[in-house]
Structure 1
Amino acid sequence: MVNRHSFYYCLLLTFYVLYLIFGGLVFSTLEQPHEEDLRVKVENMWNDFLAAHPCLSEQKLEDFLRKAMVAKSFGVSALRNVSGYENRWDFVSSLFFAGTTLTTIGYGHPFPISWAGKLFCLMYSMIGIPLTFSILSITARNMLILFRDKPIHNIRIYFRVSKKRLEWIHAPILITLILAMFFLVPAVIFDLVEGNWEYLDAVYFCFISLTTVGLGDYVPGEQSGQQMPVLYKVMVIGYLLVGLAAVLLAVETTKSLLNCDRLFNLFLLGCEDVRRDEEADPVLTNDLEDSFVQRHDETTRRRVPHSLSPTPEKFYGTISPS
C-alpha cells in the first residue's frame, strides 16, 4: 500500500515537471518570433554587406566573425576603440567575479580561460560557496532577530497584542521594505548609472541577481566611460551580498508566517515514523531514568550500614530491644 507521504511527494514531483513544461511552452511562444525576426535582420545585413563589398570573400568574413565572437565570449572585444581594450581581469574585475561566483549568481562574463584558472575556480568554489551561504544564513537569522523578533516582543509588552496577529501585521511591512530597498530603489540607481538600461531592465537585473539566477544578459560595470568604475563594482558586490541576506530574511519570515514546516512534512518520506519515534523517546528515556534511579536506590540501601538505615525499628517476636 502506498504511503500518504509518498503519494504527496509523487504528486509534488508531477506538479514540478508540469510547471517546467509550462515554462518551456511559454518561453518558446514568447521568444521564438523575436529570434526569427533577428535572424532575418542578420541575414539581410550579411547580404547587404557582401553586396557592397564584392571583393571580400564570404568565407574570410565568416572566419573573422567566428573568431571575433569567440574572443568576445572570453571578454575580449574585437572593436578598435580604446574601450575595447579594457582589462577584464584586473583586481576589481576579478573581485567582482569571485563575489558573483561564491554567491552562485555567476553572470558568466568573464570566465576563466586558462586551465590553472579553471582548476583554482573549482577548489575555490568548493570551499567558498558553502562558507558564503553559511555566513548569509547566519546574517539572515541575526536580521530576523533584530527586525522581527525584537520589535514584536517590544510591541507585545506595551500593547499586549497576540503574537500571531503581530506577525501577520509585521511581515507585509518588512517584505515591502525589503522590496523597496533592494529592488525598486537600486533599480533607479542602475538605470541612472548604466547608460543603455531602462528602469524595467534594472528591476529585472535586481531580481535575476538576488535570486541567484544570474543569466548574464545584464552585467553592471561593463559600459565604457562610466564614472569611478572601481568604486561602482565594489558597491555592487556589497549590494549583492546584503541583498541576498535580505532575500533570505524575507523567505524565512514568509516560511515562519505560513508555518511551512508543517506543509513540508507532508512530502517527507517516513515522517510519521520519525514523529512516532520522537514521541516515544521521552517515555523510553523516563522509563530508563526511573529504572536507573530505582536500582541506584536499592544498591545504596544495601550498602548503608544497619545502624544508619532509615528503616523503622524492628521487633523480634514479642521482645522489644529496648
Structure 2
Amino acid sequence: MAQRAWFYLLLLVIYILYFTLGAFVFSTLEQPHEHQLRKRVEDLWARFLATHPCLSDDLLDEFLRKALLAKSFGVSVLRNTSGYDIKWSYLSSLFFTGTTLTTIGYGHPVPISLGGKAFCLLYSIIGIPFTLSLLSITAQNLLILLHDKTIHYIQLQCNISRRKVLWIHAAVLISILSVVFFFIPAFIFDVIEGNWGYLDALYFCFISLTTIGLGDYIPGEQSGQRMPDLYKLFVTCYLLMGLVAMLLVVEIMKNLLHFNQLYNMFLLGYEDNRRDEEIEQILPHNLEDSFVQSNQAGKTRRRLPHSVSPSADKSYGSINPPSS
C-alpha cells in the first residue's frame, strides 16, 4: 500500500512536470508570432490613420471594438459579400446544439439574448448528461459487438493468449477508427474548405473529437460557401459518430490497462480490490451450494453452512438446558 502511494505521488510529479513543460513550449513557440502579428497590426493602424487624417484614433478604436464584438457573436461585419448569412437558422442552430451538448463548444456563434443564455443554461444541465450517457451506451454496445465477441471468436479459433489477442485487436481497431474518423474526414475538409490545408483539417478533427473545441477552425464559415447549413448538419452527424468512436477507443484502452502491470502499480489497494472481486465470484456459488431446502411434513427446513451454523458443543442462551 505504501509503495503504491509513493508510485502514485511520483506519477503526479511527472504529470505536473509534463503540464509545465507544455506551457513552456507553447509560450516559446507562440510568443514570437504574437509579437510579429501585433507589430503588423500597429503598422497597419498607423498607416490607416496617416492616410485618413480626418478620422481620429478614438473613433477608429471604438469602431473596431464594436466590430470585433459583433464578430465574436458570429455576425460578420464585412460588406463585400454576396449577402448576410443568418447564423441562427434552424440548421445552424442544430450545429450549435450538437457542439454544445457534446461539450465541444466552438464558441461561434453564441447566444446573444438573455433568454437564449438562460435557456442554454437549463437546456445543457439536462442535455449534456443525457447526450454523454447516450454516447457512452452506444459505445458500450459497439464494444460488445466489435471487441468482446470478436476476441472470444479469435480465442476459440486460434491458440493465442488473451493478452496478445487484446493488443492485436486494439491496434487493428484503433487504426481503422483513425482512418475513418481522422484521415478520411481531414481529406474531405481539405477539399471543401478552400483555406484549410490537410494538416489544418487533421488538427480540426482531433481538436473536435477530443472535445477541446478551440474554435479557431469552424466548418461552413467561408463567405459564398454553397449550402453551409446543410454542410454543418453533416458535420454535426460526423461529430456525434466520431465521439462514439472516441469513447470506444477509451474503453478499449481501459481493457488494455486492466492487464497492464505498470498501470496497476499506481492503484492504491489494487490487491484488496482484486481479492474482493475473486471473493464475489466464488461466494455466491458456495452459498447456493450450502443452503439446501427440503420439504418434510409440510415444513421447509434449510441446512446452514458450517461457517454459519452454531457449533453443537456451545450454548447460545437456548431455553433447553444443556445436556449432561
Query: TM-score by structure 2 length?
Result: 0.81
The separation in 2 between residues aligned to 1:144 and 1:75, in whole angstroms, is: 39
In structure 1, stretches of 5+ residues that fail to align are 299-322
Q: How far 1:277 moved relative to its partner?
A: 5.7
Q: How far 1:272 moved relative to its partner?
A: 5.3
Q: Which residue of 1 aligns with 2:70?
A: 71
Question: Deviation per CA, 1:159-204, whole angstroms, max 9, x where unpaired?
Answer: 4444333323222111111111110000010011112111110000
Q: What does 1:155-194 align with in structure 2 at a 5 Å threshold?
A: 155-194=154-193
Amino acid aligned to 2:45: W
Q: Which residue of 2 aligns with 1:244?
A: 243
Note if 1:212 corresponds to 2:211.
yes
* Greater Cα offset, 140-149 or 190-199: 140-149
Compared CA separation, residues 185 and 276, structure 1 to 2 (3 A):
closer
User: What is the Cα-based RMSD across aligned positions, in Å?
Assistant: 2.8
Q: Does the aligned pair in 1 maintain the 2:74–2:109 contact within 8 Å?
A: yes
Q: Does the aligned pair in 2 maintain the 1:99–1:237 contact within 8 Å?
A: yes
The separation in 2 between residues aligned to 1:174 and 1:64, in whole angstroms, is: 53
Q: Does the aligned pair in 2 maintain the 1:152–1:167 contact within 8 Å?
A: yes
Which structure would you say has the larger Rg? Answer: 1
The separation in 2 between residues aligned to 1:283 and 1:164, in whole angstroms, is: 23
Q: How far 1:278 moved relative to its partner?
A: 5.8
Q: How far 1:284 moved relative to its partner?
A: 8.5
Q: What does 1:85-234 align with in structure 2 at a 5 Å threshold?
A: 85-234=84-233
Q: Does the aligned pair in 2 maintain the 1:78–1:84 contact within 8 Å?
A: no
The separation in 2 between residues aligned to 1:260 and 1:54, in whole angstroms, is: 72
Q: How far 1:291 moved relative to its partner?
A: 9.5
The separation in 1 between residues aligned to 2:215 and 2:114, in whole angstroms, is: 22
Q: Does the aligned pair in 2 maintain the 1:76–1:84 contact within 8 Å?
A: no
Amino acid aligned to 2:102: T
Note if 1:31 corresponds to 2:30.
yes
3-state DSSP of counterpart to 1:85: coil
The separation in 2 between residues aligned to 1:23 and 1:134, in whole angstroms, is: 32
The separation in 1 between residues aligned to 2:100 and 2:9, in whole angstroms, is: 33
The separation in 2 between residues aligned to 1:290 and 1:158, in whole angstroms, is: 34
Compared CA separation, residues 8 and 71, structure 1 to 2 (3 A):
same
Q: Does the aligned pair in 2 maintain the 1:71–1:77 contact within 8 Å?
A: yes
3-state DSSP of counterpart to 1:117: helix
The separation in 1 between residues aligned to 2:160 and 2:278, in whole angstroms, is: 32
The separation in 2 between residues aligned to 1:213 and 1:207, in whole angstroms, is: 8
